[in-house]
Structure 1
């Protein structure tokens, strides 16, 4: 008797940090010039998990609940008089993104692009609606 269930092909190896960074950088490269022009000094960091201090500061109990984070001040809030500050940073947390990928079935590159654009949106002080529109503008 044939089974009514179909078998899914195995997902394979989880993408590593370098693959995730490459997708994030390709996403940034597809952004409109007006956005890319203000991202040159932003540091992109792929880490396995957010550290305990970050999670505690955000009131997050489990590291898989945080897939990305922007550290810095939105472009419109900056002053030319500021000096000595750390560069703005976008953190992508690999294990949280992998967990969401497995849980949702969203294409991995789409998920990494989504998280990257969301964090870039914070850099620009964008609303969620603006972030969604920006994401649509770079979709393949």
Structure 2
């Protein structure tokens, strides 16, 4: 049974996860917006989150003027994935870090090694 949490409370968890990023990491995240969506896209309904953009390691030197990269978090999936409010908080933190890592060009295999898969 999914954990019940209001959209505002869920958004606060996302804000807390972003605020908890180390300053040296947060300073390097530019032109990225973090959005919460109720559900994942139909073509990949089990996603907890996704990075939609061009990783810093793949950008051309003249990369500028584009729309911001996006990190999408899927609230319903995160709530259904967890058994407690504490687990939701932890999973939101892990998912935020996971998707920001993709912004820096870190792939899923390395994230798995680091415990963020």
TM-score (norm 2): 0.79
The equivalent residue for 2:13 is 23
Alignment RMSD, CA only?
Answer: 2.5
Structure 2 regions of 5+ residues with no counterpart? Answer: none
Q: Which has the higher contact order (CA 8 A, sep 6+)?
A: 2
Structure 1 regions of 5+ residues with no counterpart? Answer: 1-10, 136-140
Render the CA deviation track for 1:30-87: whole Å, top value 9, x for unaligned: 22222101224210100111233xx2xxxx3xx2x11100001112222341234221
Number of residue pairs the alignment of both structures matches: 112
Partner SS for 1:89: strand
* 50 and 110 in structure 1: CA distance in 2 versus 1, 3 angstrom threshold: same
1:67–1:92: 8 Å Cα contact kept in structure 2? yes
Q: Which has the larger radius of gyration?
A: 1
1:92 aligned residue (55, 73, 88):
73
1:118–1:131: 8 Å Cα contact kept in structure 2? no
The equivalent residue for 1:5 is none
